[in-house]
Structure 1
């Protein structure tokens, strides 16, 4: 079946809720064969970014913070939302500086993923920043409470292999990073 033959159309959309961190709509979807799906729920989220940040002395910056939805302290790489008018790279640099005080270095995009393409509208851009240095202090949002710390690449790989990192949009790029790193 050709891709164009699989495309559905949206007959109508109705917003259920519009809040800064939760926008949900109900679409009426028509399938190519004419079947109508009267309730298809879509969550509209902004794009977000992740950063695999490596300091000038080769340490990787990690963070830990409470995640209410899953009820645990989560081990993560620096991450955040792409604000209106920002490119993903600008957002990544801003978020790393705000969350850790580290800036500079050389940056490359590693991966673009869709966090949940069946229900969410956003993309996640992951960057690798090599040679970052601490040039300022943390500037956290009022609702943020995170701690950053450093690990070696070996320690990070062990954390990944042992399943201590749970956030899927961080697990995927970390596996890609280590896959690419081992090929060099």
Structure 2
């Protein structure tokens, strides 16, 4: 099935009142919004509004990518992911991608190409993400933050795809980026 290049966009049917902030910190704000849903029912809708743009970057060379592993408090578990972080909403996302790549892996990229734009959980958050492919890599020292317990793993793209399929890589940005790379390779756009 081939999807059209422009999908239809029916009208937004919710009626929203003034949002009330319930919690706020430097990274996000949680709001309660009085609303009328599309069926005409009164309700309150909760939204998490992020103050930064999420930025992911996949370091790639010769059929291999690098993942970063770190402890994630939300799931009380260790997670293998592509390097990622946040950038100010008014910052060029490619600058944030270069910064996160250097901080988490030590690499600098000679070439950075945007490969994906996504909304991470648009039913409850407004968080958006841009993902870049980093190539022409130069190794260096990482500059991790004190809260990060990062490990670095070089893995073949095939093994990363298998890890996604097996549920070993579950973080949404990483899953989407790895599957995008698989598609780019299948189309001959990635060597």
* TM-score normalised per structure 1: 0.88
- Where does residue 108 of structure 2 map in the other structure? 103
Which of 5, 21, 41 is equivalent to 1:15? 21
- Given that 2:101 and 2:108 are in contact with CA atoms closer than 8 Å, whether structure 1 keeps it comes out as yes
Measure, in 2, the Cα distance between the counterparts of 1:178 and 1:101.
Answer: 25
1:103-161, CA deviations, whole angstroms, 9 ceiling, x for partnerless residues?
12211111111111011011011111122111x31111221111112112222222222
Unaligned runs of 5+ in 1: none
- Where does residue 64 of structure 1 map in the other structure? 69
Measure, in 2, the Cα distance between the counterparts of 1:66 and 1:128.
Answer: 24
Q: Report whether the alignment pairs 1:3 with 2:7.
A: no
- Given that 2:60 and 2:134 are in contact with CA atoms closer than 8 Å, whether structure 1 keeps it comes out as yes
Q: Residues 70 and 104 of structure 1: is their aligned pair in 2 closer, same or farther, counting only changes over 3 Å?
A: same
1:55-112, CA deviations, whole angstroms, 9 ceiling, x for partnerless residues?
4x55311111111111211011100011354221111111001111101221111111
Q: Report whether the alignment pairs 1:174 with 2:181.
A: no
Q: Report whether the alignment pairs 1:47 with 2:53.
A: yes
- Given that 2:70 and 2:79 are in contact with CA atoms closer than 8 Å, whether structure 1 keeps it comes out as yes
- Given that 1:105 and 1:129 are in contact with CA atoms closer than 8 Å, whether structure 2 keeps it comes out as yes
Q: Report whether the alignment pairs 1:28 with 2:30.
A: no
1:9-52, CA deviations, whole angstroms, 9 ceiling, x for partnerless residues?
32111000111244201011234564332x11000122201111
- Given that 2:157 and 2:178 are in contact with CA atoms closer than 8 Å, whether structure 1 keeps it comes out as no
- Where does residue 113 of structure 1 map in the other structure? 118
How many residues are treated as equivalent by the alignment?
180
- Where does residue 127 of structure 2 map in the other structure? 122
- Where does residue 157 of structure 1 map in the other structure? 161
Structure 1 stretches of 4+ with a deviation exceeding 4 A read none
Unaligned runs of 5+ in 2: 1-7
* RMSD of aligned alpha carbons: 2.0
